[in-house]
Structures are given as C-alpha cells and as structure tokens.
Amino acid sequence: MPNIASIIKGHNKRISATLTSKEKEAYNCRKKDTCPLNGNCQASNIIYKAEVKTTDNCKTYIGLTEPPFKLRYGNHKMSLNHEKHQNATELSKHIWQLKQNNQPFTINWSIASRAKAYSNESKRCNLCLTEKLIIINADKRTLLNKRPELISKCRHENKFYINNSSPTTKHRQGNHTQLRSEHRRKAKTQQQNGRKREYTNSRTPKKVLQTTNRTDAKENTPQNNTPTTV
C-alpha cells in the first residue's frame, strides 16, 4: 500500500501548501504602495471588482480568478494599455471609450468575494457560482458585464479531464462506433445464416447480454492492437 499512502501524503501536503500560501499571500506582494489590491495581489480563488470612476459616473466590472490575482491583473493591464487588445473584456472596452473621449478616470480594484474553484471532491465550482450570484445582484445600470457571461460555462472543471480525456474519449468513441457497425454486420450475418429473426431481436436479457459480451471480447482484442489514427 505504499502508493495510496504517498498519494494521501501528497494530497495533504498540497492542501497545507495552499493554506499557508493563502495565509502568506499578503506578505508576497513586493510593491505594496502600488499594489492594485492593497498588498493582496497574490490572492487566489477570488471574485474581484473593478470600479471605474469618472467625474460623472462609476461603472463596475466583476471578474474571477483561480490563480493569483496578480496574473489576471497583468492581462487586464495589457488590454487597458494596448489598443489592439481593447476588445478583450467589457472593462477594456469601457476604458478605451473613456480614453477616446479624453475623459479622466480612476480604477479601484477590490476583492468582492472568495470561493473555491471546481475540485474533484466538491464536484461544483463555487467560484463561478459566486461570480454569477454577484453579477445577478449587481446594479444593472452601472454594471459593465454583459449577460452572456452568466451562461458561460465553467472553465475550471476542464483541467480535471485535459490530461487523459482527449485520446481516451476519442478511442472510446471510435470503439463504440466500430462496435455498433460490427454488431449490425454480425446481426445481418446471423440472419443470412438462417437464424430466426426472433433470436436476434430476442428480448431475453440473458441472450442479448451474451451476444454483446462475446462481440466485446472478440472485437476488443484486435482493436487494441490497431494504432488509433487521430
């Protein structure tokens, strides 16, 4: 059982690592005076808020990030500073409009909420759910986010499949299609061989099961040896 033990040990290590990094996130900011989040830019699993103030109004943008905010902020900064990225987010669109109208503005970043992104244990993404909740409850007149963001799918779940899904899924799908056509061909041959239709269409689960198992066993062996072309 050394494998399971080391898995648990690694798991616990990871959990305690995230806990300490969460505790230490405030200390990891190098430039506290210029920090967009008051020294908390290392915060991860947060829903953040950007308030854009002009002389006559204040607009709000809601966003989320699973990795440290600092990384997301870097992307925002790029779209706010480089015109070619002006359509990256609703926030950058708004800022570039202000710039084009020569309207002075300030942006104030803050943490709106904290929630855990999708994990294999929770099987749900509280980070995305919380963001949606905050967007729904926000004042629509000042909110920059658009409605489609509410129906956008969670991206955080994907990373749990990425490593082993694509080839396996394709392989499995391939198997399935091959199995079905093989099954049909087999049924046809059986009919041609003079077997009674009732037998092929038999509703007795036992018979159906046996046929399926047999074809499974037969078909899987040569198939696994055939390299799957992608």
User: According to the binding rule CB under 5 A, does residue 62 interact with Zn ion?
Assistant: no
User: According to the binding rule CB under 5 A, does residue 111 interact with Zn ion?
Assistant: no
Please identify which residue in 25, 29, 43, 45 interacts with Zn ion, judged by CB under 5 A: 29
User: According to the binding rule CB under 5 A, does residue 41 interact with Zn ion?
Assistant: yes
Region binding Zn ion by CB under 5 A among candidate stretches 41-49, 168-176, 183-191, 211-219: 41-49
Number of residues that bind Zn ion (CB under 5 A): 7
Shortest separation between residue 128's beta carbon and Zn ion, angstroms: 3
Region binding Zn ion by CB under 5 A among candidate stretches 25-33, 74-82, 165-173, 189-197: 25-33
Distance (Å, whole) CA 158 – CA 151: 16
User: According to the binding rule CB under 5 A, does residue 125 interact with Zn ion?
Assistant: yes
Please identify which residue in 46, 47, 112, 128 interacts with Zn ion, judged by CB under 5 A: 128
Distance (Å, whole) CA 126 – CA 228: 38
Shortest separation between residue 66's beta carbon and Zn ion, angstroms: 7
Helix (H, G, I), strand (E, B) or coil at 67: coil
Q: Are 115 and 141 in contact (CB under 8 A)?
A: no
Shortest separation between residue 22's beta carbon and Zn ion, angstroms: 15
Using alpha carbons, list the distances in angstroms from residue 130 to 12, 82, 154, 155. 26, 30, 12, 14
Nearer Cβ to Zn ion, position 123 or 206? 123
User: According to the binding rule CB under 5 A, does residue 144 interact with Zn ion?
Assistant: no
Distance (Å, whole) CA 92 – CA 145: 11
Regarding beta strands 46-53 and 106-114, do their DSSP bridges make them parallel or antiparallel, or are they unpaired? antiparallel
What's the gap between Cα 140 and its chain centre? 26
Q: In what order do the strands lie in the sheet with 46-53?
A: 58-65, 46-53, 106-114
Sequence-ordered strand ranges (E) for the chain: 46-53, 58-65, 106-114
Site string for Zn ion, 152-171 (x = CB under 5 A): --x-x---------------
Please identify which residue in 25, 35, 79, 135 interacts with Zn ion, judged by CB under 5 A: 35
Contact positions vs Zn ion (CB under 5 A): 29, 35, 41, 125, 128, 154, 156
